[in-house]
Amino acid sequence: MTATNTDIGKTYTTKLLLREFASRGILVGVIKPIETGVIDGYAADGEELLACAKECNHKLWSLEVEDIVPITYELPAAPFVASNNIPFDLKKIQIKIQEMEASCDLVIIEGAGGLYVPIDENTMMIDLITYLKATALLVTHCSLGCINDTLLSQKALQERNIPHAVAFNCKESDKSFAIVSEPYFLKTNQKVLKVNEDIVKICDVLYNL
């Protein structure tokens, strides 16, 4: 799970995916490797994901938020900055994913920010997707500028040969999308899948990638 930027709706979309896959009898799990902006040990996204994962998979009843979000930082910034460039502990992430996989058929991994958010001096978020050989869902916004933002992120995924789908998280304030942005995507034969309307189709696409 990645996005064109921060606050686009990754956690919101992740929860919808967890519930939809679970409704199909699939044992689901979730990992958010890094969360920044964690004040007094409270990982807001991690807590939401933990509650949803327990709701969707009875095998995860004993998990704690640290099992969902193994690395946290207080400063709400890119992990490189928030950690003062502490080298990324990939082994810690791998262990948590393996532990989650033991109780799941499918694990959703939610990234932080966008594809080129720096994790440490040598690692971007897109590098983590490549290393894990994961399929990506790119969540993009529907406000003015989404054509540019979406195409740039798609290009980055294509250059890495990362299989991916795109989902548009349209909010109530994005009423201009159908006029100023959607026509381009439709004219260029791209699927316009909207998070709030097409979560079933989005799951179908991801499942078949």
Q: pLDDT per residue over 2-53, tens digit each?
A: 999 989 999 999 999 999 999 999 999 999 999 999 999 999 999 999 999 9
C-alpha span between 83 and 62 (Å, rounded): 29
Separation between Cα atoms, residue 26 and residue 134, nearest integer Å: 18
Beta-strand pair 123-124/118-120:
antiparallel
Residue 95 is part of which domain span? Answer: 6-134
pLDDT digits (tens, 9 = 90+) for 134-174: 999 999 999 999 999 999 999 999 999 999 999 999 998 89
In whole angstroms, give the CA distance from residue 125 to residue 152. Answer: 15
Residues 50 and 10 in one domain: yes
- Domain end: 134, 166, 185, which one? 134
208 within domain boundaries: no
Q: Which amino acid is at 121?
A: E
Count of domains in the chain?
2
| 86 and 59, same domain (yes or no) | yes
**Radius of gyration, CA atoms only, the chain:** 17
Retrieve residue 89's tokens: 């502990």
> Is 14:49 a contact under the CB 8 Å cutoff?
yes
Give CA 137 to chain center in angstroms: 7
Active-site annotation, residues: 32
Residues facing residue 28 across a β-bridge: 106
Structure token digits, residue 156 = 């980055």
Same-domain status, 129 and 140: no
Tens digits of per-residue pLDDT, 57-101?
A: 999 999 999 999 999 999 999 999 999 999 999 999 999 999 999
CATH number for the domain that contains residue 78:
3.40.50.300
